[in-house]
Structure 1
């Protein structure tokens, strides 16, 4: 049995839904965002963009369901300043771009995609850069990133280093989202290390996405939730 399969079976065994959640903050997140079944105009845009552009389709490993979830999540928190680091997934970037509250998204990637920039030009202003995360954080000045999406990390050590690098940007309302930390043993160990850090108050694990919150008024709790 592969590691992701075993990890998924463990996830299913441990996961809950909104009926087992007593935190008002997390309960609202689940009922108003996770389980929002209302159709969104952006869903058609995301589907059409990927269907009509082979390059974007090949650059995405997210399912449509996960793309829709990321769109809802970003919309729900109405981020004014978003950062995507180690960006490689076209559908993830499109989902964040089309749900942007103020069209301010910085995308750190080793291979900036001109095709992607062209497709989302009418939806959001994407600032593609090959700068380091530390440089991006320092350059943000007083305009801290409200929402950070850690996309595709092949190196778990680098992921934890980037987590620590980004800490100066956190506020009480910061939302950090990680992509697929159940992929292998090293990533899952990194996720467990992040959960235990003192600055973390609430985490929500949906298996494909891992959410981290730093809300000082919240008791430290970890939720495993079926998406």
Structure 2
């Protein structure tokens, strides 16, 4: 992974060169709609306060968990025993991006949601709250972490979430072929390495369709993740990508006759 200094330099370069995030000069109608209707939607939705209250509790929870780590590890900690508060403070997706995921699902109304990397369940809760009538399958490698997430879902009254525990290398195929025949929306946040990220993308390909949306977390986290992101963007099935630095979004819409890549300030 990149050092905090190098990541900071990359972020500064992104901020200075990205489109301004207001939609000015964007001639692709779909992207303009995404910017104005999703990215810049500053409404306060009903679930925000409840979920953020749970986040606050997690940040102050000193319960120690025994972890199994199947990914590239944390930027801050490497111990297999960690406090809930440490996980919450270093690993949870910030409110800004978790709420953006909510708005994407709320706006495009996919019929199902798949998440690779439940963590403590904050992003899952946002995804499930965007439409509580659709199934949300979330996958987590660490059993103790999944248990905390499940307790959070119960506290929030979310009934449309199913947690699949175990190594994604083993469990993803079963989910794709036995539980989801098609993937409408997926958030991939489970393994910050090139090969597994590309492998997850390739496993999902037969299950995608024109209106599928894939969101990849931390696409600039390391050189490996940037290489994975470049591979995914260049894939023949991808017609449009949006780079928000901390997440990357790809679309497969056939109306997009020419492949386009956008980097937008957010």
Length-normalised TM-score, structure 1: 0.91
Alignment of 1:78-117 (within 5 A): 78-88=109-119, 90-112=121-143, 113-117=146-150
Structure 1 stretches of 4+ moved >6 Å: none
CA distance in 1, matches of 2:253, 2:195: 26
Aligned partner of 2:65 in structure 1 is: none
Alignment of 1:177-188 (within 5 A): 177-188=215-226
CA distance in 1, matches of 2:246, 2:53: 23
CA distance in 1, matches of 2:198, 2:57: 36
Secondary structure in structure 2 of the residue aligned to 1:215: coil
Alignment of 1:168-207 (within 5 A): 168-207=206-245
Q: Give the C-alpha shift of residue 101 in structure 1.
A: 4.8
CA distance in 1, matches of 2:120, 2:27: 34
- Higher CA-based Rg: 2
Among candidates 219, 222, 227, match of residue 261 of structure 2: 222
1:126 aligns with 2:161: yes
Aligned partner of 1:10 in structure 2 is: 13
Secondary structure in structure 1 of the residue aligned to 2:163: strand
Length-normalised TM-score, structure 2: 0.79
CA distance in 2, matches of 1:202, 1:179: 17
| Greater Cα shift, 153-162 or 172-181 | 153-162
Secondary structure in structure 2 of the residue aligned to 1:84: strand
RMSD: 1.9
Among candidates 51, 66, 81, match of residue 56 of structure 2: 51
